Amino acid sequence: MKPIVANGLRRYASGMTLNDRTSPLSLLETRRSGKPRDMVAPGPSEAELVRILTIAARVPDHGKLAPWRFVIVGPGQRRQLADLIALALPEHDPDANAAHYAKALEFAHQAPALVVLVSAPIKGHKIPVWEQQLSCGAVGMNLLTATHALGYIGSWITGWPSYSERVHDAFCGPGERIAGFLFLGSAGEDLEERPRPALDTIVRIWDPPRD
Ligand SMILES: Cc1cc2nc3c(=O)[nH]c(=O)nc-3n(C[C@H](O)[C@H](O)[C@H](O)COP(=O)(O)O)c2cc1C
């Protein structure tokens, strides 16, 4: 295997400015999610959220199927989400203790804004479900990037609630799945860089098969 990158050189080292909005490229090169529990107000306004979701939906989408949905959990609905997750918790973990309940409550109340991204592939369509799911992943990524481009912080979290049947049924129709909870807000704590894979570990020149 012939590497095309000689070493694990990274252009941005420690001390770099994260989510640097100086230019489109600097934002992409320094993008960093925040931790939902550290997010504080302000979150995106209603108009900004519309803008974020419009950008999120502008993704590669084979067949123009739009096989994804957004469900906004309004600020006044967090308590109901917490109740739902508390009901789902013992189904997920029959041994759940008070600390687990507290964490579930925290999950539901994190960050000023919350959007649930739902993957809604059309089964039996000539466009494979896999491609439709990939498109949903692109939506999640665009949603985060748009959020960061507006000066906010986003975080894409599944956690166990995404896999709970009860939570699923509260957000999804048949054949749909929760792709994640997208928490949006402002960074309440300094962000820290996260290690990124060195290119030489993930890139290679193709070796064509010889007969
Ligand atoms: C589909 C999906 C689900 C995720 N779920 C979780 C999760 O439940 N908990 C978590 O800590 N990070 C989760 N992550 C990872 C974070 O969203 C984030 O990508 C990671 O912390 C790296 O930060 P970055 O976005 O700055 O690269 C998930 C990522 C994806 C794509």
pLDDT at residue 11, as a whole number? 46
State in Å: Cα 127 to ligand 1 middle: 27
pLDDT at residue 211, as a whole number? 84
Contact of 74 with 108, CB cutoff 8 Å? no
Report which protein residue has its CA nearest ligand 1's atom 23.
33
Per-run averaged pLDDT (10 residues), the chain, 211 residues: 42 74 98 98 98 98 98 97 98 98 97 98 98 98 98 98 98 98 97 96 97 84
pLDDT at residue 13, as a whole number? 52
Cβ 157 under 6 angstroms from ligand 1: yes
Q: Say how far apart CA 163 and CA 142 lie, in whole Å.
A: 23
Cβ 32 under 6 angstroms from ligand 1: yes
Cβ 123 under 6 angstroms from ligand 1: no
Q: Which domains are present in the chain?
A: 39-202 (3.40.109.10)
How many Cβ atoms are within 10 Å of 171's Cβ, its own excluded? 20
Contacts of 69 (CB under 8 A, 6+ apart): 117, 118, 120, 176
Answer positive or negative: Cα dihedral of 30, 33, 34, 39: positive
Report which protein residue has its CA nearest ligand 1's atom 14.
157
pLDDT at residue 94, as a whole number? 98
pLDDT at residue 8, as a whole number? 41
State in Å: Cα 189 to ligand 1 middle: 17
* Residue-wise burial string across 124-147, b where 16 or more C-beta atoms lie within 10 A, e elsewhere: eeebeeebbbbbbbbbbebbbbbb
pLDDT at residue 14, as a whole number? 58
